[in-house]
């Protein structure tokens, strides 16, 4: 049983819930529990969509600095890849994933939110990558996913200044997708992904693979990747059901097969 990260499932939606008071600091144990949670929701066929949530007060205020303070280059060189891959496990969940952000999402907390497909943010939340103020840089995707999301110039501003952004700015630059009152964040995140729980899960998986994978390819390679995934869906039962429903003018009943 995980101590700080648990998975709660209801109505086809799996919630990965961080619970390490007071600030959900992302120490090594939490990182590995996040990896295990990502594996669990990926394997569970009853889970069609995922919410990553830190609770009503805070999403995650960053890495556990006390744990990192005495680490040497040799220590972190041995750990850095595992740190990054723990967050990457969230990014690679082959289902729609939304971060429900309250309070602070800073450093590793911001990187965790960046690993999700969307971010629903409380109107009083603060986001940022303040690692530069510790004499380091983000090490779990912050320089890479942030630049792909908001563009290199804005990413350099946030990473090199270490400043926090409020919800309004986050929405304006594309770091947030929806801003709602703090008390409504979790339900707004649930509402965002609920639409996918009865969808064609194999096609949703392919769509995520096509978009995320294509970002790392040139256009020709991305188009070839898209074509491969597109053709593969013609082997699914959901493709047959979806097209039959269209011809018969009825609502499809997708089974995720």
Place of tokens 């792909």: 148
What is the Cβ-side half-sphere exposure of residue 112, based on CA atoms within 13 angstroms?
33
63 belongs to the catalytic site: yes
Q: Would strands 118-122 and 178-180 be described as parallel, antiparallel, or unpaired?
A: parallel
Which one of 12, 108, 109, 128 is the catalytic residue?
Answer: 108
Distance CA 90, CA 41 (A): 10
What order of strands is seen across the sheet that includes strand 97-101? 5-10, 13-18, 49-53, 97-101, 118-122, 178-180
Query: Is 131 considered catalytic here?
Result: yes
70 vs 138, 156, 189, CA distance in Å?
18, 27, 38
Tell me if 53 sits within 8 A of 16, measured CB to CB: yes
Q: Is 111 a residue of the active site?
A: yes
Query: Please, is 144 exposed, middle or buried when counting C-beta atoms within 10 Å of its C-beta (0-12, 13-18, 19+)?
Result: middle
How much helix, strand and coil, in percent to the nearest 5, is found in the chain? 50, 15, 30
Residue of 111, 140, 176, 206 with catalytic role: 111
Residue of 49, 63, 86, 89 marked active site: 63
The catalytic residue among 131, 140, 199, 226 is 131
Does the annotation mark 248 as catalytic?
A: no
User: Which residues are known catalytic residues?
Assistant: 63, 108, 111, 131
């Amino acid at each position: 049983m995980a101590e700080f990260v648990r998975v709660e499932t209801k109505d086809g939606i799996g919630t990965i819930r961080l619970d390490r008071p007071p600030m959900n600091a992302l120490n090594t144990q939490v990182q590995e529990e996040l990896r295990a949670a990502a594996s669990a929701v990926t394997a569970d066929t009853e889970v069609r969509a995922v919410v990553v949530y830190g609770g009503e007060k805070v999403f995650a205020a960053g890495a556990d600095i006390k744990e990192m303070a005495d680490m040497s280059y040799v220590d972190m060189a041995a750990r850095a890849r595992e740190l990054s891959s723990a967050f990457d496990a969230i990014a690679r969940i082959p289902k729609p994933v939304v971060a429900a952000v309250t309070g602070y999402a800073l450093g590793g907390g911001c990187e965790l939110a960046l690993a999700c497909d969307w971010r629903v943010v409380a109107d009083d939340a603060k986001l940022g990558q303040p690692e530069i103020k510790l004499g380091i840089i983000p090490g779990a995707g912050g320089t890479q996913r942030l630049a792909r999301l908001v563009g290199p110039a804005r990413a350099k501003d946030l990473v090199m200044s270490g400043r926090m952004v409020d919800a309004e700015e986050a929405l304006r630059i594309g770091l947030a997708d929806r801003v709602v009152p703090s008390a409504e964040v979790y339900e707004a995140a649930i509402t965002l992904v609920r639409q996918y729980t009865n969808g064609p899960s194999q096609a949703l998986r392919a769509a995520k693979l096509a978009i995320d994978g294509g970002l790392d390819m040139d256009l020709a390679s991305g188009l070839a990747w898209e074509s491969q995934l597109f053709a593969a869906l013609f082997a699914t039962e959901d493709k047959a059901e979806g097209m039959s429903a269209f011809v018969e003018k009825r609502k499809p009943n997708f089974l995720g097969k």
